[in-house]
Structure 1
Amino acid sequence: MDSKNQWNQKSSVQEFGIQKSSVAKPVHQQPKPTQQVAPKNEHDPNQLVRRVTKRNIAIKKSIATNEGTIYETFDPLMKPQTPQDIGFIVKCFQSHFVFSSMNETQLVQLAKSMFYCRLVIGQTIIKQGDGASSFFVLEKGKINVLVDGISRKQLTQGNGFGELALLYNAPRSATCVAMEECFLWGIDRHTFRKSVENVMRSEQEKNRQLLEQVKFFNQLTKDQKDAIAGVLILQKFNQNEIIVNEGDQASSFYIIVEGKCGVFNKEDVQIATLNPKDSFGESALKHDNQIRMMTIKAIEKDTKVVALGKDMITQILGDKVQYIIYKNICKWALNRSKLFGKIPASVQDKLIEGVIYRKFTAGQKVINKGDKVGYLYIALEGNVLDDQKNVIANNILNEESLYDEVTNTKHSQSYTMETEGHVAVIDYDKYRTTYGSVEKLQEKDQSNLHSEEHQQSYDLVKQFQLKELIFLNKLGSGQFGSVYLCRNKNQETLFALKYVTRAHIQQYGIQKHVQQEKSVLEIMNHQFILKFYRSFKDAENIYFLTEYIAGEELFDAIREIGLLGKYDSQFYTAQMILQMEYLHTVHQIVYRDIKPENVMVDQFGYLKLIDMGTAKSLKNVSPPKTFTIIGTPHYMAPEVISGKGYGYFADLWSVGCCLYEFLCGGLPFGEEQEDPFEIYKEIVKNPLHYPSYITDKTAKTIIEQLLNKIPECRLGGSYSSLKNNQWFSDFDWNKLMQRQLQPPLIPKKEKLMNETQIQEQLKKNILVIDQIQKDTMGQKKVFAQPKDAEWDSIF
């Protein structure tokens, strides 16, 4: 925990439309090494130098002030909004990057949340150095923008200013004074966030309800439906306007929201009517090269439909949508099974990896009585009958035959297709030969379970007292506290002890933040994530006791290595993907600040994810999204910046930034920028570019998937499909999980505290709590109050 974790919020005069920033750079960012030695040698990766400076511009939730505080000065007025007012505001919104990802319907709803105000001549609405809370659209008048007392720009009708205030609270970098009487529309950050959240949640919920009405989507998982609901596009059609034309290539699927549509034959005669919640074009999603068989027109004024393109659903779910549906049915069948239902999801995924989908005609035998047992069969499409004429659909056909692999060598009955359909066939014998029988794998997950030895260690640590911890070394310092290396008097295990002062918790109002960090840490149980043991508290501080990772930050490691090759990048990226898979799928947690500074390389060269201070559970949130602007600007996903709400896919964007950094040596967006505003603009607006020496097409493909500005397209259907990406085709995930791969770098031992140094420090017998008192001498202290029991009882 060092300066990289500080909440260093800053603004720029850019938010007032001035091109040159006057914000002084923090000392730790001066000087800034150039990304490349010489542009003319860009083709030579050996001449590339990584930036040494850490990305310290961490933007977290506005905590220094009450969200309801308004810093700007104006005279509020009552004015009912007219359609002309709404149109004027929306047009202004569309010229600012903060609103660029919102559609017109969303912008209209946002415009309706704005207040009206007036300035008299000479009145200052914004003062340089003050806090920021509101964004304004100038309807009438003229405003002078001054930086350090010098006039830099004039704002006139239609100009918007102060948009950075909608993202986070930072000191204003300019002063705005009315040059004549002015009238403005404004919105404060709190209202903006609430309005956007309400609009987005309402829209997502409506889309989800529409999907639930369509049988095709019933075969998708909740997460898949959530993802699709996020990319549905609302379209409006006038009466008699054609939506799809007979003979055209079928590329989209539609659900009617309002109005009615007519189905017309070649003679332009209406043969059917489609009403709200009806859909058409399903075959376009399931199959390639489909041709429209009918023409469909809007037959009512202002008919509205939501559209889903085949290319979009392919990006979200992966290729061959029908096979994705089949895979879902297989997983649901396994989950319902007595034999397979208790095995971990990772084992189920391995079982399904080798599945073959076979088509059967009506009356064809799927399994013959007396056949050798060795394959697992799952009915996918169509009905299957057993010898007693029982109908089996979307379920395992021969589960009982698989229970005892010794005595059950032949099938006891036949199974026949009643109707034409598909059956999944899995080579269960091959699976057992490779991984062992499912019976032996039940309740066992190699990646996540503590060993018995670790469990004993956990139980022992629970009995520790804070006063038993001996100080060995100081590992790092931050704005809210420090981290110390320590050891219990009676145990050889080394620990890291992080403390947060009550003074800072109270000053910044981060009680819930600290609670959240602990609640996330204590459920972590993964080999590539920091182990948490317990918390302590006293009158001055809250403490977190974790494992000690004897190593260095990935940030430093990749600078030692230089430009990473394919294997090195695969090694680190794969572990980040496994970390995210665990957080997202096992615990429904979004991390929100993936970057090399938050990942440690341990003494064996493998990664450990640390610092859960920004992690948040979305377990009981529907849809699973949060709206807080939080993270480090260079690694922030576009949807985080826009305030539209974001979920797990935001973490995959950050992983994509890291992968780009591994292979290219710099970051994909804002590499030469330090001002958050400029970084945000590049992330939202700029396309992705590569140095000329990046020629690996498969690397570009996975980077572009992870850095897709449509969040739902980053996963590619599932973590299983992401791990099977072509770029990983020569990478052994099993050996990674078993820690049998050669790491790119092993931290040098001289950087670590050796046993002799530890013993010398132990002889001094300095308690950690005494060292903390010494280090914080002279600092302002706040002591526990009775009211603190409302939040600190969990520590």
Structure 2
Amino acid sequence: MSSLAMPQEKKREYARKATQKRVGSTSRKPPPVEEHLDQFEVKKEIEKDTRVFLKNAMKQDRLCATLDDAEIESILNTVKFYKFDKGTPIIQEGRLGTTFFVTQTGSMEVSVKGITCNTIGAGCAFGGLALLYNCPRTATVKATANSEVWGASGVAFKQSLQQNATKHQAETLKFLDAMSIFEGLTKKQKNCVAEATFSEVFEDKARVVTAGDMQTAIYFVKKGELAVYSGGHVKSTGEFVDGSEIGRLGQNDCFGESQVVSKEPFNITILSSGRSELLCVSVAELKVILGDDLGAVLERNAISQGLKKCPVISQFTASQRSELMKWVVVKDYAASAEADAGARIIIVLEGSVSGLEKEKEVKLQRGDWIEDEALLNSSSAASSIKNMKAGSGGARVAMLTRDGMASALKALGVSIANSAEDASDFTRKMVLAKKVHIFRHLSEEQTKKVVESFVTMKFAQGETVIEQGTPGTSFFVIANGELEVFINDKSVRRMTRNSYIGERALLFHEPRTATVKVVSDNAELWAIEKATFEKIIAGNMQQQLMNRIRLQDTNFGLKDLIQVKVIGAGAAGVVRLVEHKSTGMRYALKRVKKVDGEVPEEVQRECSLLKDIDHPFIMTQVNTFETKKSVYILTELITGGELHGAIREIPTVLSRAQAQFYTGSLVIVLEELSERNILYRDLKPENVMLDAQGYLKLIDFGIAKKLPEGESKTFTMIGTPHYMAPEVMRGHGYGTEVDLWSMGVMLYEFVCGYLPFADDLDDPTEVCTAVLKDPLQFASSYKDAHGKTLMKGLLTRQPRIWATDSYYEYCVSQQEYSNTGKC
């Protein structure tokens, strides 16, 4: 078939099969800066009229549109005045952007690779995108007439955008925290709702809501005061008259939340008393983010948060708690009505409940919970919760009965134990055992044997768990705490909860190869004796474990490796296949040259992150070596090639099963990174390798970032535009959820054969515009309804699916993976 005869979609599909790779803004060598501007600077004070002119121009720029006057002023305080003669370049394609410009007089043309593509006149702002993106200029701007231009500091420009976003987020979270309706939302969910809020200003006597109106938004008073009226009516002129004032709402007050749940219209009218500013979140936006039945969703979140607080239930993963939720019963009780006697967990959703716990009186208010000490007890012992009754105003409670708990545990593959204490301990160990990667091949019975063999050991800070050179008799799983591993007194890694140590001596009958000490205040470890361990370890698990152990052997240097051949080369460095002289173990060795005697920042960042990650779907970093001129990174050898190449070897688009397999694997990886608060930021087929069995291995953490404790956002615009989420481009801050957008782009590429946005574009500015504005459309040949639903959720520009606790849970809820399981 000739290309002229192909329909457009088929052309795109064949184009996908080409070898073109999308490249992000990760250049190691900084491009030239805009030092040429100094020669065009003219000393000039900014006058009042000019300042107003520049403000108006900046507010027309999409990057500055959300800035308030104070933030714009902070940018204007850094401006310099420039004069350019006709024909003079103002910015040059390929140079690093350091200045944000506003034209006062004159005209300019914009060209890309020598081809004119736009013009700029007086009152236009330009140059901001490259600053935000931290990338070279993507176009040349040249004066076509004598022109006067103001240029502001790029640092001040980016700081103002970030400060604006941070301030808005803080104000909005304060608004959400003040509303009881949002009590059940997680921090991540609140951040998503915060993204959907907006400010609205009302002048004196303006109506905010009118009696009889249906609910359209929830409001929070940011500034000013509101008057609340009963009765009255609205004249044909729009004036409200004859109402009786019954109250006032001031700063930090909120209203409208009760109507969201009740779905009843307002029975009051609220007017602005003087000028007021309100923060609002529309009901329509909330439905997009949380679902159509807001009352049910918010109630479900309240139950979920209550379960997280229960000591036993808190040990379960998000997906396991989701299974428990299916067995929770919600009931309404009239005043003084007695609650069901079989309840083992009670969470108060509305009203109050009182009764006895361990024969002591307790009273529970909204949001409180109580857990029976015999929650998991297999005996018929009476509950420690007795005589629970609703308060004078009645109560709405969520309950989990003993039978419900038993059914949930059975569905999860967790058995009930013989005593409350044993049950709690057993449940925690089963949950944790299932998280340890080396146990993933075990059957349910084998996992139980592991758990039954665990012996709890507690250590204080500074204590030695195992010592290098001593015989090994036990294998340890870290239940709580942080440990540091030393080889020959040199720290090589830190290990946290769910990691394991001591396996080498058990399998290979060798002395301990490292010393492990407790660095946290204390640590709790679970130990399995050698004899039991050897009985359990077999088959796939033994093979995988032995391979992981060999990768952890770092007690050798470059001189112990033989170079076999070059297996890759690029701008970042050369990758060679190497072999250990003694063991025959093969690795990949990447050499990166130092810049001015220093290891490049992105290489330092990648090594730092990979050092502490141990996951079967993430490339294992074995060791790093430094010489005077280079740094060498030794990793596991991945022999299956790039996913980018693999999907292009398939003559058509990927089948449903293939797309499910690859996307499901990515979900597992991203959930792991999210739990560690790590943003990958450059997810694309080129950065995914395949191992010998065809499983995914995520590589290249050069622009990944671990968010500091307590932070949920970063602002740097970085990555590959075709796979980049809109939040990254807007400059208002983003979190780990942006990697799910990239996964959505990859899924679309898998099943449609081309990219969803800007498939035929390469200019970063044009690509960003397409990602921000173009509609999501599917190939006419793609008919999978569940797949479309999932991709619409992943590729929405609204913060919808990011509100879920579990990435995998969301994907399963869309039924895209329902017939194949988790992986």
Normalising by structure 2, report the TM-score. 0.75
In the alignment, structure 1 residue 539 sits paired with structure 2 residue 511: no
The 8 Å contact of residues 285 and 313 in structure 1, kept in 2 or not, is answered as no
Q: Matched residues in 2 for 1:53 and 1:654: separation?
A: 20
Q: Matched residues in 2 for 1:718 and 1:278: separation?
A: 33
Deviation at 1:259, TM superposition (A): 1.0
Segment of structure 1 superposing worse, 708-717 or 566-575: 708-717
Specify the alignment match of 2:660 in structure 1: 570
In the alignment, structure 1 residue 386 sits paired with structure 2 residue 336: no
The share of aligned pairs that are identical, in percent, is 27
Specify the alignment match of 1:779 in structure 2: none
The 8 Å contact of residues 683 and 723 in structure 2, kept in 1 or not, is answered as yes
Deviation at 1:61, TM superposition (A): 7.3
Of residues 432, 440, 446, the one that matches 2:434 is 446
Specify the alignment match of 1:227 in structure 2: 192
Segment of structure 1 superposing worse, 454-463 or 221-230: 454-463
Of residues 503, 513, 519, the one that matches 2:608 is 519
How does 1:625-664 map onto structure 2 within 5 Å?
A: 625-664=713-752
Q: Matched residues in 2 for 1:152 and 1:234: separation?
A: 36
Q: Matched residues in 1 for 2:397 and 2:4: separation?
A: 59
In the alignment, structure 1 residue 589 sits paired with structure 2 residue 589: no
Of residues 611, 614, 618, the one that matches 2:703 is 614
Specify the alignment match of 1:210 in structure 2: 175
Q: Matched residues in 2 for 1:47 and 1:433: separation?
A: 46
Residues 113 and 589 of structure 1, relative CA distance in 2, 3 Å threshold:
farther
The 8 Å contact of residues 40 and 82 in structure 2, kept in 1 or not, is answered as yes
Deviation at 1:635, TM superposition (A): 0.6
Q: Matched residues in 1 for 2:121 and 2:552: separation?
A: 68
How does 1:491-502 map onto structure 2 within 5 Å?
A: 491-502=583-594
How does 1:716-731 map onto structure 2 within 5 Å?
A: 718-719=806-807, 721-728=809-816, 730-731=818-819
The 8 Å contact of residues 355 and 386 in structure 2, kept in 1 or not, is answered as yes
Structure 1 residue matching 2:286: 3-state secondary structure: helix
The 8 Å contact of residues 235 and 305 in structure 1, kept in 2 or not, is answered as yes
Q: Matched residues in 1 for 2:214 and 2:582: separation?
A: 74
Specify the alignment match of 1:423 in structure 2: 398
Give the length in aligned residue pairs.
687
Specify the alignment match of 1:696 in structure 2: 784
Structure 2: gaps spanning 5 or more residues: 233-242, 416-423, 440-502, 505-544
Q: Matched residues in 2 for 1:254 and 1:200: separation?
A: 20
Structure 1 residue matching 2:792: 3-state secondary structure: helix
The 8 Å contact of residues 138 and 185 in structure 1, kept in 2 or not, is answered as yes
Q: Matched residues in 1 for 2:173 and 2:294: separation?
A: 19
How does 1:66-105 map onto structure 2 within 5 Å?
A: 71=37, 73-80=39-46, 82=48, 85-86=51-52, 89-91=55-57, 94=60, 98=63, 102=66
Residues 38 and 316 of structure 1, relative CA distance in 2, 3 Å threshold:
farther
Deviation at 1:722, TM superposition (A): 1.2
How does 1:119-518 map onto structure 2 within 5 Å?
A: 119=83, 121-122=85-86, 124=88, 126=90, 128=92, 131=95, 132-143=97-108, 155-166=120-131, 167-170=133-136, 173-174=139-140, 176-177=142-143, 179-180=145-146, 182-267=147-232, 268-287=243-262, 289-301=263-275, 303-368=276-341, 376-387=345-356, 388=359, 389-393=361-365, 394=367, 397-406=370-379, 408=381, 413-418=386-391, 419-425=394-400, 427-434=404-411, 435-437=413-415, 439-443=425-429, 444-450=432-438, 452=503, 454=545, 457=549, 461-503=553-595, 506=598, 510-511=600-601, 513-518=602-607
Q: Matched residues in 2 for 1:224 and 1:148: separation?
A: 44
The 8 Å contact of residues 34 and 91 in structure 2, kept in 1 or not, is answered as no
Amino acid at match of 2:666: M
Q: Deviations over 1:8-58 (max 9, x none)?
A: xxxxxxxxxxxxxxxxxxxxxxxxx99x8755374x799755242333321
Deviation at 1:615, TM superposition (A): 0.9
Q: Deviations over 1:490-527 (max 9, x none)?
A: 33543222232223774xx833x322212211222333
Q: Deviations over 1:147-180 (max 9, x none)?
A: 8999987643223444453233425743524733
Q: Deviations over 1:530-585 (max 9, x none)?
A: 2233322233322322222231222122223321233322222222222111111x
Deviation at 1:617, TM superposition (A): 0.7
Structure 1 residue matching 2:788: 3-state secondary structure: helix
Segment of structure 1 superposing worse, 125-134 or 673-682: 125-134
Q: Deviations over 1:74-123 (max 9, x none)?
A: 324443464774465444653x56557x4777984676456141316458
Q: Matched residues in 1 for 2:101 and 2:626: separation?
A: 45
Amino acid at match of 1:170: P
Deviation at 1:300, TM superposition (A): 0.8
Specify the alignment match of 2:542 in structure 1: none
Q: Deviations over 1:696-728 (max 9, x none)?
A: 333323222211223465455653651333233
Segment of structure 1 superposing worse, 138-147 or 602-611: 138-147
Q: Matched residues in 1 for 2:116 and 2:374: separation?
A: 84
Normalising by structure 1, report the TM-score. 0.78
Segment of structure 1 superposing worse, 160-169 or 249-258: 160-169
Deviation at 1:205, TM superposition (A): 1.8
Specify which structure has the bigger relative contact order, considering alpha-carbon pairs within 8 angstroms and separated by 6 or more residues. Answer: 1
Q: Matched residues in 2 for 1:38 and 1:621: separation?
A: 57
Structure 2 residue matching 1:253: 3-state secondary structure: strand
- Structure 1 stretches of 4+ with a deviation exceeding 6 A read 44-47, 103-107, 144-154, 409-412
Q: Deviations over 1:442-481 (max 9, x none)?
A: 2425344446464871685132223222333332112121
Residues 710 and 198 of structure 1, relative CA distance in 2, 3 Å threshold:
same
Segment of structure 1 superposing worse, 559-568 or 142-151: 142-151
Q: Deviations over 1:235-291 (max 9, x none)?
A: 11111111112112102100011111111222123221110111110024434x331
Q: Deviations over 1:728-761 (max 9, x none)?
A: 3624444x2xxxxxxxxxxxxxxxxxxxxxxxxx
Q: Matched residues in 2 for 1:610 and 1:150: separation?
A: 37
Specify the alignment match of 1:40 in structure 2: 7
Of residues 8, 13, 18, the one that matches 1:52 is 18
Specify the alignment match of 1:774 in structure 2: none
Segment of structure 1 superposing worse, 162-171 or 464-473: 162-171
Residues 286 and 86 of structure 1, relative CA distance in 2, 3 Å threshold:
farther
Q: Matched residues in 1 for 2:799 and 2:141: separation?
A: 37
Residues 720 and 149 of structure 1, relative CA distance in 2, 3 Å threshold:
closer
Amino acid at match of 1:119: K
Q: Matched residues in 1 for 2:796 and 2:296: separation?
A: 23
The 8 Å contact of residues 357 and 424 in structure 1, kept in 2 or not, is answered as yes
Structure 1 residue matching 2:142: 3-state secondary structure: strand
Structure 2 residue matching 1:568: 3-state secondary structure: helix
Residues 277 and 384 of structure 1, relative CA distance in 2, 3 Å threshold:
same
How does 1:651-690 map onto structure 2 within 5 Å?
A: 651-690=739-778
Specify the alignment match of 1:555 in structure 2: 644
Structure 1 residue matching 2:771: 3-state secondary structure: helix
The 8 Å contact of residues 97 and 684 in structure 1, kept in 2 or not, is answered as no
Q: Matched residues in 1 for 2:636 and 2:322: separation?
A: 31
Segment of structure 1 superposing worse, 235-244 or 213-222: 213-222
The Cα RMSD (Å) is: 3.5
The 8 Å contact of residues 165 and 189 in structure 1, kept in 2 or not, is answered as no
Residues 175 and 158 of structure 1, relative CA distance in 2, 3 Å threshold:
closer
Deviation at 1:632, TM superposition (A): 0.9
Deviation at 1:190, TM superposition (A): 2.4
Structure 1: gaps spanning 5 or more residues: 1-32, 737-795
Q: Matched residues in 2 for 1:617 and 1:78: separation?
A: 44
Q: Matched residues in 1 for 2:761 and 2:37: separation?
A: 28
Q: Matched residues in 1 for 2:375 and 2:7: separation?
A: 65
Amino acid at match of 1:58: G
